[in-house]
Homo-oligomer: A and B are copies of this chain.
Amino acid sequence: MWISTRAQYGLRALIEIGRQPGEPVSLKEVSSRQDISLHYLEQIVAGLRRAGFVQSIRGARGGYQLARPAAEINAYEVVTTLEGSIAPVQCVEDDHTCESQNVCGTQDLWFRVDAALREVLGGTTLADLIVEAQQQQHARLIQLA
């Protein structure tokens, strides 16, 4: 497991926040619905606010709202915001400035891994994830009935 809980929880928090457009969603609500420590969520969502994904509304009945449309937020930028680079190896992170003169033989492999990650994560929007969460929850309710 190499995606940190910060990034995972951050994505899940955005799903909860993006699910109720117009009205602010409190972290207490996110915390209980997604079962994540409130204090930890505060740290994570603060990062998302600083990066411009959400807006905060302070005081009683406050909470968070998306600052951009869910369809214009992709998973890659959310993950890298909270986690920094997710390049598989250093030479990809440093972008081609390889100390071993690129003769190690594995460089191209790691770049292809990186490209695949960007494609999957970059090609998935928050809107996609919200739809999926709704469907999953719906299916679960039917299952319980």
Residues from chain B with a CB closer than 8 A to the CB of A101 are 140
**A75, A101, A104, A108: which has the most chain B beta carbons within 10 Å?**
A104
- Residue among B3, B93, B105, B137 making CB contact with A103, cutoff 8 Å: B137
Contact B34 A109 (CB under 8 A): no
Within the complex, the shortest CB–CB distance from A109 to chain B, in Å, comes to: 6
Residues from chain B with a CB closer than 8 A to the CB of A105 are 12, 15, 129-130, 132-133, 136
A1 to B2, CA, bound (A): 9
Contact sample, A vs B, 13 pairs, CB 8 Å cutoff? A1-B89, A1-B93, A2-B86, A3-B88, A3-B89, A15-B105, A35-B100, A103-B136, A104-B136, A105-B132, A108-B132, A113-B121, A116-B116
Interface residues of chain A, those whose CB is within 8 Å of chain B, are 1-3, 8, 11-12, 15, 34-35, 75, 85-90, 93, 100-110, 112-113, 116-117, 119-121, 124, 129-130, 132-133, 136-137, 140
